[in-house]
Amino acid sequence: MNNSAFIVSSTTYAGEAGKLRKDFCIDYTSKKKKSLQRINDEISKQVNDRGETITCRKGCPVCCVAYIEANIQECEAIAFYLYEHPAVLASFVARYNQWRVGISQISREFARCEAILHQDPGLKLSSDDQVVLLEVLKKYHRQSIPCSFLEGGDCSIHEVRPYVCANHLVSTPEAWCRSENWYEPNSANRPRIYMTNIDELYETGFYVNDLAKPVIGFMPAMVYRILTEGAAYIQKLTRHEKE
């Protein structure tokens, strides 16, 4: 296993800068738990108002092969959670290396998708970008690459999971969640997805200074780079977003 993720950990939260990071993660996680509860309550009300029942259940990993984005604040808090749970950290690093092998088949298209998602969320996507994004997401989903945080069918970081994951519940049979149904609006077996607003995804508050604009990307990749490159990666990424 690649041990580089553990090298940074010895100094991650040391000194004044480290304390700022740690305090931010603790505070952010506390606030996020309240937001996750809000999301669940709002979606549950939508489902109940339609007289339906949420069919998502613990241990169902069907949608855990989808592209999951998160902001830099979420990824920083997830990295802190991993440092606090060494066994989960070790499992994630091992599974991430397996994920990299799978993603290599669409690496070029994936890079284009990442570039599109890193654009200012206030900008409207061009028709070409919309087509590219949809096709890459469909191709990624069809590969059925399990999330690097999936442990025996369960989410190993459930209490700090991305907003995108929490904001995604269905009331249709599990079998309908297959990739061939997911992105086809005319499919008779397309999953009925319930969502709500997650303005938190676009927050710019961060430790030390606020961000010039939201920093959003592929969650496992951002978490891994925070673990292996530390604050240097965060500074590089946030500095790039200010330019």
Q: What is the pLDDT of residue 121?
A: 55
Tell me, what's the pLDDT at 57? 85
Indicate the DSSP class of residue 170: E
Of residues 121 and 72, more confidence is placed in: 72
**Mean pLDDT calculated for residue range 90-118:** 74
Alpha-carbon 163 to chain mean position: 7
Q: How far apart are CA 184 and CA 230, in angstroms?
A: 40
Provide the residue ranges of all domains of the chain, joining segments of one domain with +: 18-242
Model confidence band, residue 124 (pLDDT cutoffs 50, 70, 90): low
What pLDDT, on the 0 to 100 scale, is given for residue 109?
65
Q: How confident is the model at residue 37 (pLDDT cuts 50, 70, 90)?
A: very high
Question: What is the identity of the amino acid at 104?
Answer: S
For residue 209, what pLDDT is reported? 83
Query: Per-residue pLDDT tens for 194-214?
Result: 999 999 999 999 987 899 888
Looking at residue 239, what is its pLDDT? 74
Give residue 2's pLDDT: 47
67 versus 88: the higher-pLDDT residue is 88
- For 237, other C-beta atoms within 10 Å of its C-beta total 19
Percent of the chain past pLDDT 70, that is, above it, reads 83
Query: How many other CB atoms are there within 10 angstroms of residue 116's CB atom?
Result: 16
Confirm if 198 and 170 have CB atoms less than 8 A apart.
no
- Adjacent-strand bridge partners of 196: none
Q: State pLDDT tens for residues 157-170.
A: 999 999 999 998 99
Give CA separation, 41 vs 52, 166, 167, in Å.
Answer: 15, 11, 11
pLDDT score, position 176? 85
- Residue 35 scores a pLDDT above 70: yes
Mean predicted lDDT score pLDDT of the chain: 83
